[in-house]
Amino acid sequence: MARVAFVIASHSDLLARGVVELAQQMAPEVFFQAAGGTDEGGIGTSFDKIDAAVSACLDKVGDGDGAGVVILTDLGSATMTVESVLDFADDPDHLKFIEAPLVEGAVAAAVRAQLGDCLNDVADAARNAIGPMIELHSKQQDQQAPSAPTDGVTDTAVVADPVGLHARPAALLARLAATFDAEILVNGTDAASVLEIMALGVKQGETVELRATGPQAAESIVALKEMIENAS
């Protein structure tokens, strides 16, 4: 079971529930709570909603080693409401409020939580979510291929999934890549980063290059090739 749960705090109930729905596709075993809108159902934030969501998450994950709750928000006043909730929290050491892009942060961190990472590592994944996307976009703008080592084990795979390497397929691939003691690249990008894989925009029927180095390089390439070429 995942050690980290998430509170998605937003001015909109629909937005909060939408982010939860998307993230749960990536991390089905992770516990999420949406805390969106006011108590009356309007646009705004609610101390009571966020506080109740935090309590529910803490009850779910407990207070074991590395356990806790990551809180993500959309806009400024939601941040202030969360900070007020944290001021009254009985167990602040198990809470991490991360200022990060809401969707990207939730997706990147949820994948790490699904793998069983500790609170600090999951929080770092949310905090750093936008960095790889900016770097990859910059390289694409410059029409430069991402740098990749010339050694290691290589192979190619034809993408079978109808949606390509997007959303859930990208998350499954990233989770699989993270289980190997190897550095794995898909078209020159980090195979363990769901956001980088999604940013490639690979469609069904396209061929991707796989490259890996490290103790489990060969095993990782076989496993990733099998997953890519067999639609889930």
- Residues 33-54, mean pLDDT to the nearest whole number: 95
**Is residue 42 packed enough to be buried (19+ CB in 10 Å), middle (13-18) or exposed (0-12)?**
exposed
**Is residue 32 packed enough to be buried (19+ CB in 10 Å), middle (13-18) or exposed (0-12)?**
buried
Name the CA radius of gyration of the chain, rounded. Answer: 19
More confident site: 145 or 107: 107
- Residues 12-29, mean pLDDT to the nearest whole number: 94
- The answer as to CATH 3.90.1150.150 being correct for domain 153-228 is no
More confident site: 176 or 130: 176
Q: List the catalytic residue out of 11, 94, 137, 166.
A: 11
4-128: which CATH architecture? 3-Layer(aba) Sandwich (3.40)
DSSP class of 93: G
pTM for the predicted model, two decimal places = 0.74
Residue 132's pLDDT band (boundaries 50, 70, 90)? low
Task: Judge whether 137 counts as a catalytic residue.
Answer: no
* Equal fold, 4-128 vs 153-228: no
For the record, the structure tokens of 26 come out as 């990536």
The pLDDT tens digits for 80-128 are 999 999 999 988 899 999 988 999 999 999 999 999 999 999 999 999 8
Total length of the chain: 232
Instruction: Say what the pLDDT of residue 232 is.
Output: 59
Instruction: Say what the pLDDT of residue 146 is.
Output: 47
Structural domain boundaries in the chain = 4-128, 153-228
Instruction: Say what the pLDDT of residue 87 is.
Output: 93
168 neighbors 175 (Cβ within 8 angstroms): no
SS3 143: coil
SS3 32: strand
The mean pLDDT value of the chain amounts to 88
- Residues 137-143, mean pLDDT to the nearest whole number: 51
The pLDDT tens digits for 157-167 are 999 998 888 87
